[in-house]
Amino acid sequence: MTDSPSRSGAFESAVDKRVEQFTESISFDARLFREDIAGSIAHANMLADQQLVSPAERDQIVQCLTEIGQELENGQFPLRMELEDIHMNIEQALIDRLGDVGRKLHTGRSRNDQVSTDMRLWIRDSIDRMDELLAGLQTSFVRLAQQDGDVVIPAYTHMQRAQPILAAHYFLAYCEKLERDRQRLQDCRQRVNQSSLGTAAVAGTSLDIDRDQTAGQLGFDGLLQNSLDSSSDRDYMIEFVFCLALVSVHLSSWAEDWILWSTTEFNLIEIPQEFCTGSSIMPQKINPDVLELTRGKAARVIGDLQTLFVLVKALPMAYNRDLQEDKPALFDAFDTVEACLTLAIPLVEGSRLKRESIRAGLDRGFLDATTLMEFFIKRGIPQRTAHHAVGQLVRQAMQQNCRLADLSLEDFQAFDPSLDRSIYDVLGIENAISKFRSTGSTCPEQVSRQLARWCERLELN
């Protein structure tokens, strides 16, 4: 009794319907159809070159696979759960249409290398898509830096006001983080883009296949060299999902910032209303739900990474059916990050800083205290002494409810009688920010150099 191509003559009974449902993967691997068709066409071409099928048989197979691919593309191909997965659905259709010629396609190949090949092709494309989206978000941050980058905002450490920065400095910080995300994905791509096709079930094959030939057709950079390794490991998937998890962590902390920034208490930013939602009971509410969900969805992606780690932990060599469970986690991670980025790009580009409200609050928090301390250091006062003295001046200003710049020259001279009015050149936000000159810091010259660098990198004007 052979009720599916994978059920050989060894079986005496048909499969239990409940088992069929339990073991199917077509409900989530159908999206691999393009990769499966491409892999099968490459395999058929190789079989013909190696005289394992005739050129005429190859032509029939390729033609038929192309038709099946078209039907799948148009949603005209009925997917059958009892055939388990996308690989068997396509192969069975080939057999139904070509008879014995169709039965030759699986020569020298197993679903174990087939699945892994399809996944590698799928991830390779997904890395390229991710790169495009990440570059898109970098571009949005650059655009916002060009628009509102001149605004001075408070930088926070420990969520307490720390030092003044240019808003552009903040936006470009995300360009840097996203750039490393892109680099990590490119690095991962090198290991993903290796062919497992032809490693077959576990030990290879006795047939005279040519793995370099299929790898070349499919655009792989090289071959996995050990059939046991190739059919058993999912490290490339974990790496990819790790890269995605890091993207989602970057997005979540950006989202957290902007959720805070858009509160009445901070009042630093206006998020486009198309990206906000309301409340069913409080008519005044304009909520930053997209940002909140971006923050929340990072949990899912981190969970997907966890799923993959636990899935492969302590699996015996080599292929085990557990590995089928890799796909839902991987697809979910990609879909989630893709959805977040797709919204983040226009959200960032359409947001505007609230210049007046920011300006009005800037004199709170003694953002110029560090530059004052460094002014003393430049006069030869040891850092710890200067640190203590400025702390005392801050306390004095707090008591008088004024800025450091509002203290009298006598107040400063109480600490150092040789001080003159040049001390006021480092006080006040505008003065202070221009003093942060070290490489990578926030003074206008440094930031405009960085902005120019990003425009060049992203080919923007």
If the CB atoms of residues 111 and 169 are measured against ligand ARG, the closer one turns out to be 111
Catalytic residue among 27, 253, 279, 388: 279
Q: Which of 29, 36, 304, 368 binds ligand ARG (CB under 6 A)?
A: 29
Q: Are 164 and 429 in contact (CB under 8 A)?
A: yes
117 binds ligand ARG (CB under 6 A): no
118 binds ligand ARG (CB under 6 A): no
Q: What is the 3-state secondary structure (H, E, C) of 205-255?
A: CCCCCCHHHHHHHCCCCEECCCHHHHHHCCHHHHHHHHHHHHHHHHHHHHH
Nearest Cα to 90, choosing from 132, 43, 131, 34? Answer: 34
Q: How far is the CB of 28 from ligand ARG (least distance, A)?
A: 9
Number of residues that bind ligand ARG (CB under 6 A): 11
Q: Which of 40, 89, 92, 112 binds ligand ARG (CB under 6 A)?
A: 112
If the CB atoms of residues 29 and 368 are measured against ligand ARG, the closer one turns out to be 29
Q: Is 110 among the catalytic positions?
A: no
40 binds ligand ARG (CB under 6 A): no
Q: Which of 106, 109, 111, 169 binds ligand ARG (CB under 6 A)?
A: 111
Q: Which of 44, 52, 115, 407 binds ligand ARG (CB under 6 A)?
A: 115
57 binds ligand ARG (CB under 6 A): no
Catalytic residue among 158, 280, 408, 418: 158
If the CB atoms of residues 17 and 359 are measured against ligand ARG, the closer one turns out to be 17
318-326, 359-367, 384-392, 438-446 -> range binding ligand ARG (CB under 6 A): 318-326
Q: What angle do CA 118, 123, 129 make, to 5 degrees?
A: 135
148 binds ligand ARG (CB under 6 A): no
If the CB atoms of residues 162 and 202 are measured against ligand ARG, the closer one turns out to be 202
Distances (CA, A) of 285 to 267, 277, 278, 281, 297: 15, 8, 5, 9, 23
Chain positions 70 to 89 lying near ligand ARG, rule: CB under 6 A, are 84-85
If the CB atoms of residues 29 and 332 are measured against ligand ARG, the closer one turns out to be 29
Chain positions 395 to 414 lying near ligand ARG, rule: CB under 6 A, are none
Q: How far is the CB of 93 from ligand ARG (least distance, A)?
A: 16
Chain positions 271 to 310 lying near ligand ARG, rule: CB under 6 A, are none
272 phi/psi in degrees, rounded to 5 = -55, 135
Amino acid at 408: S
Q: Is 279 among the catalytic positions?
A: yes
Q: Which residues of 227-250 are buried (b: 16+ CB within 10 A; e: fewer)?
A: beebbbbbebbbbbbbbbbbbbeb
Distances (CA, A) of 182 to 145, 244, 301: 20, 10, 17
> To which H or E segment does residue 413 belong?
helix 409-413
- The beta strand positions in 282-420, using DSSP E, are 352-353
Written as six digits, the tokens of 429 are 């936000």
If the CB atoms of residues 124 and 327 are measured against ligand ARG, the closer one turns out to be 327
Q: CB burial class (10 A; 0-12, 13-18, 19+) of residue 131?
A: middle
108-116, 147-155, 331-339, 392-400 -> range binding ligand ARG (CB under 6 A): 108-116
Written as six digits, the tokens of 143 are 């655009």
Round to whole Å and give the CA distance between 195 and 198.
Answer: 8
368 binds ligand ARG (CB under 6 A): no
Q: How far is the CB of 295 from ligand ARG (least distance, A)?
A: 32
66-74, 165-173, 186-194, 316-324 -> range binding ligand ARG (CB under 6 A): 316-324
Q: Which residues of 50-86 are buried (b: 16+ CB within 10 A; e: fewer)?
A: eebbeeebbebbbebbeebbeebeeeebeeeebbbbb
Written as six digits, the tokens of 173 are 């910080």
Q: What residues make contact with ligand ARG under the rule CB under 6 A? A: 25, 29, 84-85, 111-112, 115, 319, 321, 323-324
* Active-site residue list: 158, 279
